[in-house]
Structure 1
Amino acid sequence: MSTKDPAARLLRLLSLLQSRTDWPGPELAERLGVSTRTIRSDVERLRALGYPVSAVSGTAGGYRLGPGARLPPLLLDDEEAVAVAVGLRTAAVQAVGGIEEASLRALAKLEQVLPARLRPRLAALAAYTVPVPGGARADVDADVLATLAAACRDRRRVRFDYRDHDGNVSVRDAEPYRLVSTGRRWYLVAWDVGRDDWRTFRIDRLTPRVPLGPVFSGREMPPGDAIDFVTKGVASTLGPCRTVATVHAPAAVVGERVPPVARVEHLDDERCLLHIGAGTPLTLAVYLAALGLPFTVTEPPELLEALHQVATTCAGAFTK
């Protein structure tokens, strides 16, 4: 289909150049329904506007958009826009040093031009997502987050397939309450209809079934908010021997070295608290030693004894 309006054609051309590294001139012409001569003319117009479009040698010739002095307008599809907004909201509230204000400014610009059909999805993500500072990024599907956030907002029951720690899959029916990001994982806090109790579900382990279920009436959380509920639930998987270690390293560095069930709490640029556990004091001592980072702990006594044992054993491994 020919793009006759010059301004619209320039935006479309810019979008194509952003989508991959190299574009043959004839293929661009075919995509836009114009001649290769028109493509050459439009490329010159982009260059005049300050966008560094370079020529690529080859049998058919082509073009490449490179880095320049200004940022070209980014043309995003619906999924990309939601993904960018989720990332900006996370950066703005996760206390990532130096980018909180910039993230909020960028998010404000994005929301100002966002299509009306996407606004309810992002509004739901903003209202029903609760972050816990510290740790590494979570890895979940943005569409799943948006679906669950909408269910929280609209108080709609949701059925989903859930895979537990052992890989067993079951179908769950729940009344969603909040989404909680620990920085390392995303969790859904919900009333499990089948278990008749509050539960937390790892979002990377669930697959929602659509459409959503019927509307349910509001239900109050037990004492403590959603963050405390998730933190206690995650802690139950750590093991019977637990400790809180002060690690003399940035939270981001520590978060990359510990298992997902551990929780890293930011203190300052050089220290963090590590909430970690294991099946036995000796196993926990080995975990801490394996960090390769300076740390201090004060309890439990069994852990201190195990650390002494590990230190003595390691020291005895050296031959003089």
Structure 2
Amino acid sequence: MATTGSRTLQLLSLLQTHRYWPGSELADRLEVSVRTLRRDVDRLRELGYPVDATRGVDGGYQLAAGASLPPLVVDDEEAVALAVGLRTAAQSGIAGIEDASVRALAKVVQVMPPRLRRRVEALRTATVAGELRPGPSVDAEVLTAVAQACRDEERLDFVYVARDGQRTERRVEPHRLVSVGRRWYLVAYDLTRFDWRSFRLDRLAEPRPTGVRFRPRTLPADDAADFVTASLGSIAPTTLQIEAIVHAPLAQVEATIGRWVQAEEIDDGRTRIRMTADSTDWALFGLGAVEAPIEAVSPPELVERMRDWGRRFTDGAAQSSPPSREAP
């Protein structure tokens, strides 16, 4: 049997993993009697951890919200995931979370043993961000409220704004959060539509937990990510296959936009570019970052859009006032 101190830490870790544990199941996991479990729970309460108990045959335990945040217990894998997740959140599109993520990351890394720090650093150096542009920002409080409802299997009410701007009240059984591309999605069973739906979190507002628990339904897909990808495929426009020639050396192109395109050297001063983009505007935005003449090859709408950009910039330059010069 584990020592009292190590068993208490194990109990705390289990309580932090699940919202609710039946007492008999929790005692079996710790390999102790129900009476010993009660003493361990009392010890946690003395340390400042609020633990609620439900009496009866089906009674059990769960951590409750307290007046202050007590220390958390995480294992090695969770610590590495936490550090990597905080580093990613510091650069994410979640509104208002960047500074808090940096502060939390500093605290986590500070107390990590060297072997875990090396793992975090290895993941950081081996990972390259692949986003060409930021996505819509998601309110951190919305993200947290939805994540908790998914974890607790609790029905959720919220206001949802459709693509046409129409606002509707929704009640759902939340299943999973999915990050795809530059956006966050909630996969849930919509109780007002009687079907599975994916909701963009940047269009979701006023999430309100109902306090009503539910038994999870079977998702009609292998996993939540596949469900979101399939639903996006039915509404998203076809991506464009872009080809252009940039009058710049291969090294210059790769240094500027190499992570987002396939670049092939034509000769010392020209590079062929192939890329996939959601729109011609974003393709031209990336190509223009090279700061070199561009020949649009395909598709035809890329050529027309570049001409339109050229006309607008030329007209704008002609109407702009020349910079004033100060008298000597």
Bin of the TM-score, shorter chain as denominator length: 0.3 to 0.5
TM-score by length of 1: 0.45
